[in-house]
Structure 1
């Protein structure tokens, strides 16, 4: 059953009417097929009108949609012969970051994906997509493995942020994130990161310091969540909408600022309405970016990555 966001209520009403008509048997000589087709066109037009003028806060809602494809969906669809690798060789396994070896369209790769889970059981298992230090240390191990065997790295970012609990701090959360960013910058292989939902703070950039950073059309990427920002600035999370405006967290704003390299279009109505199409489009975008990066040697890849991040902040809206 499809979940509708608050601003999608007119669309929800129309789709409910379409569903009712499909269960009727030609009342009063009405041509149900024609009526359904008319309403479907109306739904398409309404979705187009709605999704071409989403506010930053509405994009936050879309990025967090429970039916939006998650990290494992991308791994399972795009990576053949995926072999997961577990553990950080220091403390334990963290299932908020899934990683391993596989083939992307015939080429061997190392892949990392933040996974939020899709129901209560899997959300708890994956810690709601909030990695602990061992998750980032596992990511470091995977990236170093990729560097050793000259395999491109693909990462899929979708987290509200790194886990803020006491045990994470005790095990060195800040150091783990900083070290992960350092390893991203040091590897001599192509690193392509894609923000598929929510890119939250250091929890995201720890695996997103890549040669190319792609971002889905309705994803968000920010130093802090709108609620967290509002709690600091206004002492209440009720101003989250205002914070979302101020943070410039949309793909379109970040593209203008030079923080990301490409905005990947989503199906009409968001990735949650057609996950398979959204994933295929991301795969095509990654393949295109990878082609150009494979032409560069290790020193050039490192230099390009370093210069890219040093140049951030030089553009303004």
Structure 2
């Protein structure tokens, strides 16, 4: 059964009524018309709710456990995925799975964050929080992609890089900086997609692309609303205020020219129809790669660096 968010309680109640009516087995009771009316009411309620989401509510949608994850997107959108492990310095980082694959018939390098989908997998993937070896692996794969002229596709979904003692001892900040630098310097097409939560340097290390796509209800921020509230107001109770102030939504970030394109999600969010959401994302990636077709390596690098250097010159209307 689908997990409903706090603001979706009216939707959950209506869907419950529809299930109850459909479950009636009395042959002399025709509930078709009533079910149809309730379904129309449900569609309207979903549309009204999801077109007026606050930044705080969008954050909840972005973190929904049933949104498509890296593993889902790889299985649905890519063929012949071959994982490549290790940074050649310390070890493997399961929070940032990476490898070679084919996207709609074309060879590519794909990498991203995997948060996990149950308790065991979340522990294995460290809740999508990358360690230094994960970002150094990303640099290794970007270098390989440049050598062989392969486009790179990144799928960003993390609350931030892992802040543990071991990660800091192994140079977390330096690894993130090197990964960001590799994104900006690479002479190969780079399409970055924020599919859920794009948090802090852990996200930007894989998201400094020629084209930055963002799912409609994803979020992207320098810090989580909870973290921001704890710093500014010394309490997590102001997280909703922080979410409003941070401009974390795809719509705000598009106005600020931080992201290039917003990928529409199915009515009610990507978690309601993951397959449709992934198809829409795939179309966006394909279009982005098509837009860059024929550009030289130097032109790709120059355009990417120019775009990021220009950030901060745009303001909200």
* Deviation for aligned residue 1:228: 0.1
- How far apart are the structure 2 equivalents of 1:226 and 1:108? 38
Cα deviation code 1:103-144 (max 9, x no counterpart)? 000100000020000100000000000000000011111111
Cα deviation code 1:202-232 (max 9, x no counterpart)? 0000000000000000000000000000000
The residue that corresponds to 1:122 in the other structure is 121
Please say if residues 69 and 272 of structure 1, whose CA atoms lie closer than 8 Å, have aligned partners that are also in contact.
Answer: yes
Cα deviation code 1:32-90 (max 9, x no counterpart)? 12211211111110000000000000000000001111111111111100000001100
* Deviation for aligned residue 1:299: 0.7
The residue that corresponds to 2:15 in the other structure is 15
- How far apart are the structure 2 equivalents of 1:36 and 1:139? 50
- How far apart are the structure 2 equivalents of 1:191 and 1:197? 19
- How far apart are the structure 2 equivalents of 1:26 and 1:48? 33
- How far apart are the structure 2 equivalents of 1:138 and 1:9? 42
Q: Does 1:219 find its partner at 2:225? A: no
Matches within 5 A, 1:1-317: 1-26=1-26, 29-317=28-316
Cα deviation code 1:259-300 (max 9, x no counterpart)? 000000000000000000000000000001100112200010
Once the two structures are overlaid, the 10-residue window that deviates more, 44-53 or 31-40, is: 31-40
- How far apart are the structure 1 equivalents of 2:3 and 2:172? 35
- How far apart are the structure 2 equivalents of 1:37 and 1:113? 41
Question: Residue 206 of structure 1: SS of its match in structure 2?
Answer: helix
- How far apart are the structure 2 equivalents of 1:128 and 1:83? 22
* Deviation for aligned residue 1:161: 0.1
Give the alignment's TM-score, normalised by structure 1.
0.98
Please say if residues 82 and 102 of structure 1, whose CA atoms lie closer than 8 Å, have aligned partners that are also in contact.
Answer: yes
Moved over 2 A (4+): none
Cα deviation code 1:150-186 (max 9, x no counterpart)? 0000000000000000000000000000000111111
Please say if residues 129 and 160 of structure 1, whose CA atoms lie closer than 8 Å, have aligned partners that are also in contact.
Answer: yes
Question: Residue 271 of structure 2: SS of its match in structure 1?
Answer: helix
Once the two structures are overlaid, the 10-residue window that deviates more, 192-201 or 67-76, is: 67-76
Cα deviation code 1:239-276 (max 9, x no counterpart)? 00000000000000000000000000000000000000
Please say if residues 227 and 240 of structure 1, whose CA atoms lie closer than 8 Å, have aligned partners that are also in contact.
Answer: yes
Please say if residues 147 and 189 of structure 1, whose CA atoms lie closer than 8 Å, have aligned partners that are also in contact.
Answer: yes
Give the alignment's TM-score, normalised by structure 2.
0.98
- Give the unaligned 5+ runs of structure 2: none
Please say if residues 96 and 116 of structure 1, whose CA atoms lie closer than 8 Å, have aligned partners that are also in contact.
Answer: yes
- How far apart are the structure 1 equivalents of 2:51 and 2:29? 34
User: What's the C-alpha RMSD, in Å, of the aligned pairs?
Assistant: 0.8
Once the two structures are overlaid, the 10-residue window that deviates more, 214-223 or 70-79, is: 70-79
- How far apart are the structure 2 equivalents of 1:226 and 1:71? 24
* Deviation for aligned residue 1:25: 2.1
The number of residues matched between the two structures is 316
- How far apart are the structure 1 equivalents of 2:73 and 2:310? 30
